[in-house]
Structure 1
Amino acid sequence: MKQVCNAILAAVLMTGPAAAWAAAPAASQQASALAPEQQVDALFAKWNKPDTPGCAVTVIRDGKVLLRKGYGMADIERAVPVSPATVFNVGSMSKQFTAFSIYLLAKDGKLSLDDDVHKYLPEVPDFGKTITLRHLLQHTSGLRDAMNLMVLAGWRLDDVMTMDDMLGIIRRQRALNFAPGQEYMYSNTGYTLLAAIVQRVSGKPLAVFAKERIFDPLGMTHTAFQKDYGTLVPRRALSYQAAPDGSFKYLAVGESTAGPGGLLTTVEDLALWDANFYDGRVGGKDLLAQMQVTGVLNNGKPIQYASGLMVENYRGARLVEHSGGIGGYASQMSRFPEQHFTVAVLANTPGVSPTVMARRIADIYLGAELAPKAAPADSAMPAEIALDPARLDAFLGYYALSPTFGVTFTKEDGHLVGQGTGQAKGQLFASGEREFFAKVVNARFSFEEPDKDGIVQGFVLHQNGRDIPGKRTAKPTAPPASLKAYAGEYYNDELHVLYTVFEQDGKLMVAHPRTTIKLDYVGKDAFVSDFFGTEIRYQCSPDAGCTGFTLNFPRARNLQFSKVAIVAPGARAAADTGIFLEPDSTAVAKAGKASPAS
């Protein structure tokens, strides 16, 4: 099922990361005849307007700045344009500076990358397995992602999230996603702990340590870790997101942590940081080389993540890079070491797609030095045709790709729309009488001929060289009576959060703090949601009913919620469900009759 879900995820989750078709068509001969700077200007023309956010870009080769420009607005309300001196929050691109701080302390002889995290942070839960600093650096610790946990606990992006808030929720965890070294899974928790270790070992907060040991020595005078979201920062770009009508709205970012993110910088300062990777003025070349060594799992399988940096291959060239994103901020810094070529793109709206833009800028400047682009055989986007909306009726309905996963096709505003189980909707476009494709990712749908009643009974999804069949069937639905059994109040003490599950219009709903999500039944006491792909599996038995559920989130697995009863102060009503919660938040355990899920 997991492979099928992953395949269809890219096909119908149109809000997901851009894939093969996210890049624009190849440049025309006329465009390629322009000077490189003019070609870059053309890339960002859409964002170089007085009513849009934008980005700052720098291109560096052999230590020489080839391009350094700003496009669009840093502050739309006050008509302040983006310039190379504009300060951006670079999100997770910050991690390389946190990692570098750890390597500096290792060089000082104050710690070892293979030390147990408990040597420095004894308050981190003991999961019965050694978690090293190297595990934290390479995202192989198995620790649940703190940002995911905070979302599940009801926090929002515009809430003020401090280091203490994140450490508090980490301390309450009682299980790992997997054994340390068993898998690679990106986790902000690791870099939160690394920042705390820098403070424990050096006696200085990461923001102070990085300023003294990295930023000041390199002359990065406009770079700092943000310790408090309210700190005034001259020339800072504001954060924006697109509104449904095409305009933009301000998106507050309340993050007040340093480590997994929180770095404020400029493309001018990043050029100084880039130079250090070649001359090793701070830290030395050996340290910087070690920092770019990628990890290896327990089974010997290599991963692409090193320490705060991804090491990949693009068009035959080694590429060392990292992206970042928080709120409306998005960033990318991509270094081609053998070509001594670097691109940095910092944006104040995610619509700019800095990762895609950085690669396209590399295509412009490196040109024939890179290998030809390798594309899947079916990567050419079909020509779109107009199709009578009435013809779409034959395709509408639910099609199963596995016993617990399928796609529902609906018609909205005269267009065919697909939605995978527990995923977001995405519009499809006709390329033939029974052929449809997605524009954001490389995915095509071929439907069978209609039967004698004019109804299509199946389709084939073509994606990444695979052909995955789907057959029309009844969509799995839970019996109405069972929905009442699933309803109730459920508590998780690792998150300190209460969820209310209730039935509405034949659907199971979850009142998550400050939002409500809808669940899709997939059978055997299991549900999924398009709320970041949440999965819920109930524990039910004939005797005790449903006593709890396990929740899986993208980077936080197997969170156990127990069914509880909300009772009046002092009351102790007899019941078979496991925990009573009083208004004063005192939890009193009571043995129940629960058994594993059927």
Structure 2
Amino acid sequence: MKRFALLAAFLAALPLAGIAGPAPSPERQIDALFAPWNRPGMPGALVAVIRDGKVVLTKRYGMADIERGVPMSPSAEFFIGSMSKQFTAFAIHLLAKDGKLSLDDDVHMYLPDVPDFGRKITIRNLLHHTSGLRDYFDLMAMAGLRPGDVIDEDKALALIRRQRTLNFEPGQEWDYSNTGYVLLARIVEHVAGKPFPEFARERIFVPLGMTHTLFQQDYRTLVPGRVLSYVPADSDGFRLAPVNISMAGDGGVLTTLGDLALWDRNFYDGRVGGMDVVRQMQATGVLNDGKPIAYASGLLVYPYRGLRLVEHSGGAGGYGNQLWRFPDQHLSVMVFANTADIDTYHTVRKVADMFLDRVPGAAPAEPMAPAKTFKEIRLDPARLDALVGFYATSPQSGITFTKENGRLMALGMGFPKMPAFPYGERDFFARVTASRFSFDPPGPDGIVAGGILHWGEQDIPATCTTRPMPSAAELKRVEGDFYSDELHVLYSIAGKDGDLVLTYPGGTVTLGFNGERDYETGFGTLKYQCGTDGCTGFTISTERARNVRFTRVALAPSSR
């Protein structure tokens, strides 16, 4: 009852501006928002609203452990992914306050094994994601990371040490890099002379009373009350999505709503670190040209509805987490989910708006499209025959639809073959890529002429046509074996049934064929370097790991 009294007092203190007639209580609105997950056999979420460091509302939905029938609990332990970065940044600021380091120090003062790129990279660059360092997660994907593989510190650091170039000059751009926060944790260890998780426990968690919070450096560590992670299964239901990450710094924190409320309070009273450290945590960065950025130290700071918002999200596997703080209103909202089909940004924004509508001076909320969910329907397998074929989305790309075991399967260039689930007579969705395809109605002759690929916010027309087939000479220019000494990985590319197929430690990827243009691999864009004598190599790029070079190699024939 105390929780409801606090909530009522909070709402009573806010003027009701422009509300016509009685509105549903925030609790009822939140219940409606999470209704799809509030039933047996479903994963779910936790929601909390904090006012002046006190939790005034807590809601729980679904199951923490479907297999064992454990319902979600406010005391549940969540893996919060990149929300952990603010604790790593706080540790750095504590050491700076102690006089043990300066934010403008070159990282090589503490980590001499980081490659020398010929440019000074400062601790401040790491904090603000302006270092130019390639993201090790993207590099691991390029190197062949497979579902279930363990991501640990030794693998990540070995990969970081092999890099030869940066994405950009330090301070020239802002580009989110998990690599930077892995290195920050190593700097803390070097300066403090103890393991990073131990430093965080002694200097942050214990002083704040966060007794249910830890940096998990080994994913096999037993954590009582841990919530399990789920993703939608290829058919009905869900499957377990374990997070096999043994890293601390860029992620790794397990915590509870109650502990995060204690952390939230520290941004108002500075109990640990003092208010000067709190202010530095929320001071946003500046690029070399003087342009300000929204990223501070493990936190984003920007206006929302005319109010100052401090926030950071985090996720891995099926976990999705959001903590939004409006410091001038002493109001925070948290949403933790253990299933990938809950849009935590959409839901935390919706919950925040319920309370901001009553805050004086808050601008009106901008309309937000409802989160799209699709439910599979039963469709006569015979109706799929008319949909089979190649649908060109551009001169260089397209999707092949086949019928296998009574189900429609889709093979997009750069993606593995995946089932397409019907949610309408001619409408299908893919669970893996969050994309949809709508087929045109069949003509008088029963032939389907095309359709529309719904990809993100794009609606891309597609035409059913004959697949273009490359000549043997065209394939020969781009086939071959290619090696990257930065990744220590070999890619083999060969023609098969008119497609280029990439084989690497992560499996096989159908690239399609488009001459020497860019190819999408699903883990980066492949761009060939070709001349009159053929193609000598290529680069693989993502936004966070650019231009990783591969060179053609001639492998010795195997002896038998």
* TM-score where L is the length of structure 2: 0.81
Residue 506 (structure 2) aligns with: 514
Say whether 1:484 aligns with 2:469: no
Aligned-partner SS, 1:350:
coil
Residue 238 (structure 1) aligns with: 228
Deviation at 1:158, TM superposition (A): 2.4
Aligned ranges for residues 9-88 of structure 1 at < 5 Å? 33-88=23-78
Q: Is the 8 A contact 2:315 2:321 kept in 1?
A: yes
Say whether 1:552 aligns with 2:541: yes
Q: CA RMSD in A?
A: 4.3
Aligned-partner SS, 2:552:
strand
- Which of 559, 565, 572 is matched with 2:554 structurally? 565
State the Cα deviation string for residues 434-482 of structure 1 (Å, max 9, x = none).
xx999x999999x9xx9xxx99999999998x99999999987644422
Residue 9 (structure 1) aligns with: none
Residue 330 (structure 1) aligns with: 320
Aligned ranges for residues 431-450 of structure 1 at < 5 Å? none
Q: Is the 8 A contact 1:549 1:560 kept in 2?
A: yes
State the Cα deviation string for residues 398-445 of structure 1 (Å, max 9, x = none).
354xx86x67697999xx999997579999999xxxxx999x999999
- Which of 392, 396, 407 is matched with 1:398 structurally? 392
* Alpha-carbon distance in structure 2 between the residues aligned to 1:152 and 1:54: 32
Aligned-partner SS, 2:546:
strand
State the Cα deviation string for residues 120-160 of structure 1 (Å, max 9, x = none).
11110011111111111111111110111112112235222
Identity percentage of aligned residues: 53
* Alpha-carbon distance in structure 2 between the residues aligned to 1:418 and 1:514: 20
Residue 592 (structure 1) aligns with: none
Deviation at 1:182, TM superposition (A): 1.5
* Alpha-carbon distance in structure 1 between the residues aligned to 2:239 and 2:140: 24
Say whether 1:527 aligns with 2:521: no
Residue 262 (structure 2) aligns with: 272
Residue 12 (structure 1) aligns with: none
Deviates more, 1:489-498 or 1:190-199: 489-498
Deviates more, 1:123-132 or 1:514-523: 514-523
Deviation at 1:502, TM superposition (A): 1.4
* Alpha-carbon distance in structure 2 between the residues aligned to 1:511 and 1:421: 14
Q: 1:167 to 1:328 in 2, by over 3 A?
A: same
Q: Is the 8 A contact 1:538 1:548 kept in 2?
A: yes
Deviation at 1:522, TM superposition (A): 4.1
Say whether 1:165 aligns with 2:165: no
* Alpha-carbon distance in structure 2 between the residues aligned to 1:160 and 1:457: 42
Q: Is the 8 A contact 2:333 2:351 kept in 1?
A: yes
Residue 222 (structure 1) aligns with: 212
AA at the equivalent of 2:520: S
* Alpha-carbon distance in structure 2 between the residues aligned to 1:32 and 1:481: 73
Residue 492 (structure 2) aligns with: 500
Aligned-partner SS, 1:566:
coil
AA at the equivalent of 2:503: A
Residue 134 (structure 1) aligns with: 124
* Alpha-carbon distance in structure 1 between the residues aligned to 2:122 and 2:487: 24
Deviation at 1:106, TM superposition (A): 0.7
Q: 1:137 to 1:245 in 2, by over 3 A?
A: same
Say whether 1:283 aligns with 2:273: yes
Aligned-partner SS, 1:103:
helix
Aligned ranges for residues 361-510 of structure 1 at < 5 Å? 361-369=351-359, 370-375=362-367, 397-398=391-392, 400=394, 478-510=470-502
State the Cα deviation string for residues 196-226 of structure 1 (Å, max 9, x = none).
0000011112101110010000000000000
* Alpha-carbon distance in structure 2 between the residues aligned to 1:556 and 1:455: 40
* Alpha-carbon distance in structure 1 between the residues aligned to 2:285 and 2:240: 39
* Alpha-carbon distance in structure 2 between the residues aligned to 1:467 and 1:488: 35
Q: Is the 8 A contact 2:132 2:166 kept in 1?
A: yes
Aligned-partner SS, 1:111:
coil
AA at the equivalent of 1:111: L
State the Cα deviation string for residues 320-351 of structure 1 (Å, max 9, x = none).
11111111211111111122111111221121
* Alpha-carbon distance in structure 1 between the residues aligned to 2:169 and 2:37: 45
Q: 1:410 to 1:429 in 2, by over 3 A?
A: farther
Q: Is the 8 A contact 1:399 1:473 kept in 2?
A: no
Q: Is the 8 A contact 1:336 1:342 kept in 2?
A: yes
AA at the equivalent of 1:119: M
AA at the equivalent of 1:527: D
Q: 1:104 to 1:236 in 2, by over 3 A?
A: same
Deviation at 1:278, TM superposition (A): 0.8
Number of residue pairs aligned between Structure 1 and Structure 2: 527
Deviation at 1:489, TM superposition (A): 1.9
Q: 1:137 to 1:428 in 2, by over 3 A?
A: farther
* Alpha-carbon distance in structure 2 between the residues aligned to 1:506 and 1:230: 45
Q: 1:365 to 1:411 in 2, by over 3 A?
A: farther
* Alpha-carbon distance in structure 1 between the residues aligned to 2:49 and 2:284: 25
Residue 590 (structure 1) aligns with: none
* Alpha-carbon distance in structure 1 between the residues aligned to 2:526 and 2:211: 48
Aligned-partner SS, 2:341:
helix
Q: 1:407 to 1:323 in 2, by over 3 A?
A: same
Q: Is the 8 A contact 1:294 1:302 kept in 2?
A: yes
* Alpha-carbon distance in structure 2 between the residues aligned to 1:31 and 1:47: 29
Aligned-partner SS, 1:511:
strand
- Which of 245, 250, 254 is matched with 1:255 structurally? 245
Residue 378 (structure 2) aligns with: none
